[in-house]
Structure 1
Amino acid sequence: MLAGIAARGATALRLNYERPELSFVAQETRRRVLWTLSLMDGVFSVGLPEYETISHSIIYQRLPSSEDAYRDGNPNVQIAGRQHLMESNSTELALSEQPLAQLSGLVQDIQNDLRRVQAEVEYSFQYNVAATASVAEKKDSRWFARYLQVSMTWHQVHCDLYRMFLPRYPQAAPKVIMETVEPSLKAHAVKACQDHVKNINEILKGLLDLTGHPVLPSYIAVCAYHATRLTLFLPSSPVLGMQMNMESAIESANVALHVLHRWFSGSVATEKIILDMQYLVSLSRGDPGSIFRELSCPSPPLDHGRHRHSHLAVHSLVRQANFMDDGYD
């Protein structure tokens, strides 16, 4: 509620517009307030337009300037913006009842935009977000948590983009759209998910080698959770026909679980994530079909809000709030 009031107050004050006639400090204050509200909105709305408090489409502010204490956060803002866009696109696809002819072009445009962001980050901050070794190189930096988050987000946003084309995955596009997707795009999506989730798992494994105990943002737990779901889904899926080692997948899932126990065991926000991951790991040790049935979706018919809410992740604030109107019953 307070986030909504703050966002509406910000737009009422027109903080979403540039004011070049103001002093540097005043402009920076406006930008940071506005973009912070935007990031908070992305965490809560998870791509559902009815829960948005401030849409990216009405933000005409530049990103905050790169003074020393803040500039390393800029890549997070840029990539998080793309992730918010992916969540919105996924939501729109999930509700679509018609094939989307320009889908391949849209995916290519998003991928090109991500490459551009990668190049900008590498040029401006001398940091390769795509390389897992980059995180380890920053382990002694005072901004280690920020470097970690931007790398994790980079790989997660690719998973968000391509998991839409994994048959039977809960976040997959509806059947009417999947039937029109080129086989080459489907194959590329599977490979991309496999590669990026592997990179996330490698980064998580590297965290266990840290000697200290830096404070990590809770989004690391969210990435670990989604990586675990994909890690266990890919080798268990008979639809994909992949020759992957389930034992290796379980090992990666256990590493992710170990990271969460080490850094987030006392966090209320990640409690349900840890419980669900423990359940998935225990289930995966049995019949591979069991974990596939747990993680897959039979492509149910659209039924307004119920279908969307039932597939929100366990860490979703919307799901935890259990918002539901009496029209569903």
Structure 2
Amino acid sequence: MASATDFRIQSSTSVRGNSEKRAELKKSVLNRDVSLAHSPASSLSFELNPNKTILKQHIDAFFDFVYPIPCYAFVHKATFCQSWAQGAHNPRLLKAMCGLTARYIASGDTERLQQATRWIQEAEMQLLMRLSEPSMSDIEALMLTTLDHIIARRFSKMLVTACLAARLAFMMRLNYDDGRLSFLTQERRRRLMWAIFTMETLYSSGRMEFTGCPKDTIHLQLPCNENSFTLDIPVTTEPLKPAGIPNVSHLGLMAYNVRVLDIRDRIQRLSHTITHRQKPLVECVALINGLVDELNVLRHSLPPQFTFDKKNLFLRAYTPQRTPYVMFHTWWHQCQCDMYRFTIPGFREGLPLEELQNLPSDFVAYCRDKCLKHALAVANIMITVTEMGKDIFITDPALVMCTFHSARVISRLGSARFANLPKDVLIAKLKACSDILETPAEIYPTTKLLRGGIFDLIHDAERNSGDSSPLRSNWETEQSGADSDAPGIQRPGIQGSTQSSVPEVYSKYSVTDEIRKLKFYQEDDEPAQECQNGDQDTEGNGTAIASQQIMMPGTSKEYSSQPYLPMPQDVIVNGFGFSEHESGATTTPYDVSMTLGFEPSYGECQPDLFLDSFMPLQNDWNMADPGYF
């Protein structure tokens, strides 16, 4: 019979054996991670084998490329770098930061970019496990993962993380000032809250259903200038809408970008009101005049160092401040341009031709002239930047939205049918919108996609096409005035239109276009889907032929969302909750033809098949919005 002493000896031996097994397992995991290190970046394991040199490269890249993007300047550099040097940093923020910035320092290295995607995934998984105990740095990390989702075209994930960031910010009451905190902490809170607001204005495109952080919920003053934030110099600014005389002495470019994007958000809402006939046009014109006045007041409030000229651009051209500086002036002109787009015949956001014909001709001419004027101003800004240096990189991914929109307006309103710009001038302006995107197109998939559309506009202008579109050069047999535009011609999936001589073109890019094409599994629709599949099998090649007719020529999977691996919460590897052997995308493969969205809410004003390829989408994503004003 075993004695108590024998039992204690056996238990001690068992404990030592288990400890040795755990040590061996930990060592094997470490060795496996090291064995996977085919490049310096892929050897980065934040808990096990931190490489400070590699980490510092990513941190520097963040403050050089991401921090300057308007309204992403919420991480205080000195505070973060000191906490990182002392090992007291938030590892989730560091991981999100490194995963986001890898594309800037290793854009051509597939292996490093895949590792960066895993960092984003690991950071997101850890953040989701801490939803009940959020911190400000966790919300900062969530904002960076959201930006990565936007850049990588993971739009369904972007919607979720953006919503979480807003909810967590409200939980922590970041939308209120707290006088008990230091100035630096209060400013970080303010910048983070305004970042959430402005990010939502960019992807919501004025639609209420995608607005989770309305400005009425933010009871904060605007962010201060960069110098005061960097050096912790307490200053007082003003709210988004000042009650009295504006006090702009301590405002910086971030605050001015918040204001211009707020105005743009209201312009987008007004555009929906006009195109969906939710209010009489007379009332909408009064609202337009009010927004124009706001834009003019905003521009006149700029201090001399922020006005746009070659000297101010030169002083910032090779500093991170070039991005918010250029983007403010680009957004300002883009707001003016978007204000009048409803008068351009054939644009999706434009009124039908018969309604435009009922408006006073001088009013329509005035609106079109203003729209073209500001689109040309955007092109002129791009020319000034590229003349300053072809290597100047404007890092904001939203730059392509402005240049693509402006290129479409210039292509349409600058044509012989309207302003009749000289051919060389027209082509030069279009090329300016394309040239500025050369470097961003190597990093951002959406930029590469839309830059291709601008190339097609240039091609159309060079061959003197009539009604051009980003797709027209892909249809070499399609010519202006061909039978395809003739009245009465019906095409598969397109309703007849009384304005067939003014075909609707793909003129505007927004994230809501991407959101509309998302496909989600509907449990109640499963039998119907199976029935539809059976019908397709019995119909032979007819459906396939129809599908080919509405596909954009040269469609590629190149612009699909970047792979993102599913992470079951019950799988724990390396302490991250991530299984490295799993694979499989969680989003539907991206089809570029679906970017050109079908709009049931426009009734008979549907796209022309040869000018705007489309795929039928779910109607509930496209219903007219309720009134905004």
TM-score between both structures, scaled by the size of structure 1: 0.81
Q: CA deviation at 1:35?
A: 0.6
1:32 to 191, 197, 204: 191
Q: Deviations over 1:133-181 (max 9, x none)?
A: 7535643555122211111111111101122233333222456864665
What is the aligned partner in structure 1 of residue 462 from structure 2?
285
Distance 1:189 1:10 in 2: 40
Distance 2:423 2:219 in 1: 47
What is the aligned partner in structure 2 of residue 92 from structure 1?
273
Q: CA deviation at 1:268?
A: 1.4
What is the aligned partner in structure 2 of residue 270 from structure 1?
447
1:1-329 equivalences under 5 Å are 1-20=160-179, 22-68=181-227, 71-96=252-277, 99-122=280-303, 126-129=305-308, 134-136=312-314, 138-173=316-351, 178=356, 181-211=359-389, 212-236=391-415, 238=417, 241-291=418-468, 313-314=508-509, 316-321=510-515, 322-323=517-518, 324-325=617-618
Distance 1:88 1:149 in 2: 21
Q: CA deviation at 1:25?
A: 2.9
Q: CA deviation at 1:294?
A: 7.0
Q: CA deviation at 1:69?
A: 6.6
Whether contact under 8 Å (2:457, 2:470) holds in the other structure is no
Distance 1:135 1:108 in 2: 30
Q: What secondary structure is seen at the aligned counterpart in 2 of 1:93?
A: helix
Whether contact under 8 Å (1:204, 1:255) holds in the other structure is yes
Greater relative contact order structure (CA < 8 Å, 6+ sep): 1
Distance 2:463 2:322 in 1: 38
Whether contact under 8 Å (1:312, 1:319) holds in the other structure is no
Whether contact under 8 Å (1:98, 1:177) holds in the other structure is no
Distance 1:62 1:6 in 2: 20
Between 281-290 and 102-111, the greater mean CA deviation after superposition = 281-290
Q: Deviations over 1:198-218 (max 9, x none)?
A: 221111112222344445212
The 3 A distance-change label for structure 1 pair 13 and 103 is same
Q: Deviations over 1:43-88 (max 9, x none)?
A: 2111122222222233332211224176232211111111111112
Whether contact under 8 Å (2:414, 2:421) holds in the other structure is yes
Whether contact under 8 Å (1:16, 1:60) holds in the other structure is yes
Q: CA deviation at 1:5?
A: 1.0
Q: CA deviation at 1:105?
A: 1.6
Q: What secondary structure is seen at the aligned counterpart in 2 of 1:47?
A: coil
The structure carrying a bigger helix percent of its residues is 1
The 3 A distance-change label for structure 1 pair 257 and 116 is same
Q: What secondary structure is seen at the aligned counterpart in 2 of 1:283?
A: helix
Q: What secondary structure is seen at the aligned counterpart in 1 of 2:387?
A: coil
Whether contact under 8 Å (1:164, 1:173) holds in the other structure is yes
Distance 2:171 2:278 in 1: 36
Distance 2:426 2:336 in 1: 19
The 3 A distance-change label for structure 1 pair 61 and 226 is same
Q: Deviations over 1:281-328 (max 9, x none)?
A: 223333532317979xx9x89xxxxxxxx96844x3332341354768
Q: Deviations over 1:67-119 (max 9, x none)?
A: 41762322111111111111121122222255233222211111111111112
**Matched pairs, number:** 313
Q: What secondary structure is seen at the aligned counterpart in 2 of 1:54?
A: coil
Whether contact under 8 Å (1:41, 1:54) holds in the other structure is yes
Whether contact under 8 Å (2:412, 2:468) holds in the other structure is yes
User: In structure 2, what residue type is equivalent to 1:103?
Assistant: C
Whether contact under 8 Å (2:407, 2:454) holds in the other structure is yes
Distance 1:191 1:132 in 2: 26
User: In structure 2, what residue type is equivalent to 1:289?
Assistant: G
Distance 1:15 1:181 in 2: 47
User: In structure 2, what residue type is equivalent to 1:39?
Assistant: T
Matched residues, percent identical? 19
Whether contact under 8 Å (1:90, 1:173) holds in the other structure is no
Q: What secondary structure is seen at the aligned counterpart in 2 of 1:147?
A: helix
Task: Say which one has the larger Rg.
Answer: 2
Q: Deviations over 1:199-248 (max 9, x none)?
A: 2111111222234444521222221111111110112363xx43322442
Whether contact under 8 Å (1:313, 1:319) holds in the other structure is no
The 3 A distance-change label for structure 1 pair 60 and 43 is same
Q: What secondary structure is seen at the aligned counterpart in 2 of 1:289?
A: coil
User: In structure 1, what residue type is equivalent to 2:453?
Assistant: D
TM-score between both structures, scaled by the size of structure 2: 0.45
What is the aligned partner in structure 1 of residue 482 from structure 2?
none
Gaps of 5+ in 2: 1-159, 230-251, 473-486, 488-494, 497-504, 519-616, 623-629
